[in-house]
Amino acid sequence: MINRIDHIAIAVQDLDVALGTFLNVLGCDPASVVIEEVPAEKVRVAFITIGESHIELLEPIGQEGPVSKFIAKNGEGMHHIALATDNIGKETERVTALGINPLGEPSTGAGGKQIVFLHPRQTNRVLLELVEPKDHHH
Ligand code: ZN
């Protein structure tokens, strides 16, 4: 089951500058921010917590990763919407049966969560991500 929006991700050129802007706009406590590098995705990530959801800021590392290519093509801006699920394997199978192509197998992303991206072609050019929080076990 998909049960809520986990985060909305924004591609940015400069994480520190963008983080300052978003913390100001949201009026959030800087202590609520988690910053980490995800070498597999070639990004530096900041998670800002807002209630049960997050805003994820994505800064590319180098020129080769998907976020770097996204910014080169589209400029900064909304990158994806992440949907929380209690069973990523089952939901990936379910949407695959609807004709949506997962971009690879579920794998470990930021925060040690299981994630998979879904090709945006079938979803009005919106890149979706399924996320399974790591406190779920099957
Ligand atoms: Zn994400």
| CA–centroid distance, residue 133 to ligand 1 (Å) | 12
What does the pLDDT read at residue 15? 98
pLDDT confidence band for 41 (50 / 70 / 90) = confident
| CA–centroid distance, residue 48 to ligand 1 (Å) | 12
Report pTM: 0.91
How far is residue 114's CA from residue 109's CA, in Å, rounded to a whole number?
6
Map out the domains of the chain with their CATH numbers. 2-136 (3.10.180.10)
Bigger pLDDT: 90 vs 137? 90
Per-residue pLDDT for 137 more than 60?
no
CB-CB contact of 67 with 11 (8 Å): yes
| CA–centroid distance, residue 81 to ligand 1 (Å) | 7
| CA–centroid distance, residue 59 to ligand 1 (Å) | 12
| CA–centroid distance, residue 6 to ligand 1 (Å) | 8
Bigger pLDDT: 136 vs 126? 126
| CA–centroid distance, residue 138 to ligand 1 (Å) | 22
| CA–centroid distance, residue 19 to ligand 1 (Å) | 16
How far is residue 21's CA from residue 92's CA, in Å, rounded to a whole number?
35
Contacts of 85 (CB under 8 A, 6+ apart): 1, 2, 3, 91, 130, 131, 132
Tokens 């909305």 belong to which residue? Answer: 8
Average per-residue pLDDT in the chain? 93
Over residues 77-106, the pLDDT tens digits come to 999 999 999 999 999 999 999 999 999 999
| CA–centroid distance, residue 89 to ligand 1 (Å) | 17
pLDDT confidence band for 133 (50 / 70 / 90) = confident
